[in-house]
A and B are shown apart, each in its own frame.
Chain A
Amino acid sequence: MRWLALFAIAALAVLPWVIGGRYVLHMSIMIAIMVTLALGMNLMLQIGQLSMAHSAFMGIGAYASALLTMKLGMSVLLTLPLSALLSAMTAALLGPVFLRIKGVYFVLLTFAFGQIVNLVFQEWTDLFGGNSGLHGIPKLSAFGHRLTDPAGIYSVALALALASFALVRAILRSDIGAMLRSLEADEPLSRSLGANAMAWRLAVFVLTAAMAGAAGSLYAHVIGFLSPAAFGFGLSVDLVVMNVIGGAASAWGPLLGALLIVPLPELLRGAKEYQLLSYGLVLIVFLLFFRDGLVGMVTALARRRAARASSPDAPTAPARADAEKRAA
């Protein structure tokens, strides 16, 4: 099953090059960028914190990378990791204060932080260009060679997405992942067993912020134009939707979610007003009836088929308790 899934992903990853054409490649680049962000949000959800701050981290990375290339003439090779670092440092600074807050309050806290960052982008017009944004951001270039071919840019985006996916998946399946889940499930207990809760949660916060910053930097150089509107509440909502629809229990969820949600506006170009409506309705349906998202649906199907194959009256394994905690 797992190999099938990995093979499918590999095929999907290669598909844009096969089909070719700027339209498909541009869409694939955006999907790859959103996959990175959605994975970051997923990791945060795994430690039980719904963060609305990561759109701000993406924005910080994007503006930093744009300004470094435009004002200081640095190469994107340098500014991408630098921007990721900047977002990570911001998270490292704020983390100890923010992460003490849990549950609903953490969401509201990160929401407020995200709004402040967005408003600063709007207000500090000398540096960030305000509502009109920054334009003329240089495209990706390495060693003096300008990368204008979408196929080439896609390879960079894909690399970022794959790296993020591998990283998050590895974390979740490792001892670290088990520790994170135990923290989320029963913090006092795991702390009594020696787990340093704050250190781990801070590590996740910083890592996901770095991912968001890197994605932001890439976004800036792909689109060539930045405005605060791209990094607001709407982005956070989109990331949440991707995780809900894809399924928040594993790294596959945000991957599937991004694959579905990002092309949606294009597919529904005909009926623009109905696009928003279908968005909301599908979300409601998934929240009510498919709490484990698409991944949950697929694994439930696979389990049922396996159960039926092994024995006609084998009980269907109710492993939903674990996944329920995710969605809660």
Chain B
Amino acid sequence: MISLVEQIVVNGVMAGLVYTLMALGFTLVFGIMRMVNFAHGELYMVGAFAALTLHGTLGWGYLPSVLVATGVAALFGAVIERLLYRPFVGRELGGMIMSLAVAITLQALAVIAFGPAEQSLARPLTGAVRVHEAVISLDRAMVAACAVVALVAFQLFLRHTRLGLAMQAVAQDREAASLMGVEAGAIYVRSFAIASALAGLAGALMAPIYTVAPTMGELPMLKAFVVVILGGLGSVPGAMIGGLLIGLSESVFATLFDTTLALIASFVIVLSVIVVKPSGLWSRAAR
């Protein structure tokens, strides 16, 4: 017997954790660089394809593949930031349009390199376990566990490392931070690398769960976008709580009605938040 309510909650939390992972990178980039990166979903896709190549084609172990895939995404992110996004610091709209161009280009490269069809990656774990009156599939449980680890590590990083503190400083006040000796450029590229790493990690973790295809980053990007607007562009706690909230709300709508209605609900939430309190529900007052 599966309790519908419990299963809805379980599904929602598991989905929400992945959304949070995606949202975190997205919100980080905006908070520090004031940049809306429409190519964020493509970095998720890069991580997934890297995992597919390493674990699927080359036969590496699953966890090493995930780690290296994360690194590959970080590298992509660093290069993209330095070469393509850096000229748009301070020009939000231009940067946004550039990110669209990058998204198109990355998708096109993926199609050329891997073909347009969906591909499957063998899963590291199979089977499911019952928790009270709900069922949790083991592979998704592992994804959730890795996501939690990453989130905790990220919070620690932000609070207790020099780079993390520097990132917070730049996010709060770029000029003051540079007066203090924090060079914005170095912060930008590293923040972007970390944000991309988070997206790539999400992609690598999710690669065996569904399928891998060049367009796979579009939907997670939309979800990240919804979470970040809700939680506030630039707010880390907002991304975390927002991720879980959106995951749960979607789970409810999708199970009781259908997924399209769930998506409509999410976007209506976004619309309302932007109109009423654009800075999101958790951010500090707009600067």
Contacts and interface: CB of A to CB of B under 8 A. Distances in A.
Are chains A and B touching directly in their complex (CB below 8 angstroms)? yes
Interface of A: 50, 97-98, 100-101, 103-105, 107-109, 111-113, 115-116, 119-120, 122-123, 237, 240, 244, 273-274, 276-277, 279-281, 283-284, 287-288, 291, 327-328
Dominant secondary structure at the B interface? helix
Contacts of B165: none
B109 interface: yes
Contact of A280 (B87, B92, B104, B270): B104
Given A115-B267, A116-B267, A123-B260, A279 B104 contact: yes
Contacts of B84: 284, 288
B100 A237 contact: yes
Contact of A283 (B91, B104, B112, B271): B104
19 contacts: A104-B233, A105-B278, A107-B93, A108-B225, A108-B270, A112-B271, A116-B264, A116-B268, A123-B264, A237-B100, A273-B108, A276-B104, A277-B108, A277-B112, A280-B106, A283-B105, A284-B84, A284-B105, A287-B97
B264 A327 contact: no
Contacts of A116: 264, 267-268, 271
Nearest to A281: B105
A284 B100 CA distance: 9
Contacts of A281: 105
Measured as residues with beta carbon below 8 angstroms from the partner, the interface class of chain B is 35 or more
B95 to A, nearest CB: 9
B93 A276 contact: no
Contacts of A100: 275
A327 B267 contact: no
Given A103-B93, A284-B102, A328-B94, A109 B274 contact: yes
Nearest to B87: A288
Interface string B97-131: 11011111111110110001000000000000000
Select the residue from B92, B97, B102, B111 with max chain A CB neighbours within 10 A.
Answer: B97
Contacts of B261: 123
A22 to B, nearest CB: 30
Interface in B251-287: 258, 260-261, 263-264, 267-268, 270-271, 274-275, 278
A119 B275 contact: no
A243 to B, nearest CB: 9
A279 B102 CA distance: 10
A100 B278 CA distance: 11
Most buried by B among A104, A107, A240, A288: A104
B96 interface: yes
B112 A101 contact: no
Given A50-B96, A108-B36, A244-B97, A101 B104 contact: no
B46 interface: no
A237 B104 CA distance: 10
What 6 pairs between A and B have smallest CB-CB spacing?
Answer: A280-B105, A280-B104, A277-B108, A276-B108, A283-B101, A328-B91
Contacts of B104: 237, 276, 279-280, 283
B229 interface: yes
Given A104-B93, A277-B109, A280-B105, 11 more contacts: A101-B275, A107-B93, A108-B274, A112-B271, A115-B267, A123-B258, A123-B260, A123-B261, A274-B112, A283-B104, A288-B84
Contacts of A123: 258, 260-261, 264
A244 to B, nearest CB: 6
B108 A280 contact: yes
B105 A97 contact: no
Contacts of A273: 108, 111-112, 116
Contacts of B112: 273-274, 277
Nearest to B271: A112
A173 to B, nearest CB: 24
A100 B274 CA distance: 10
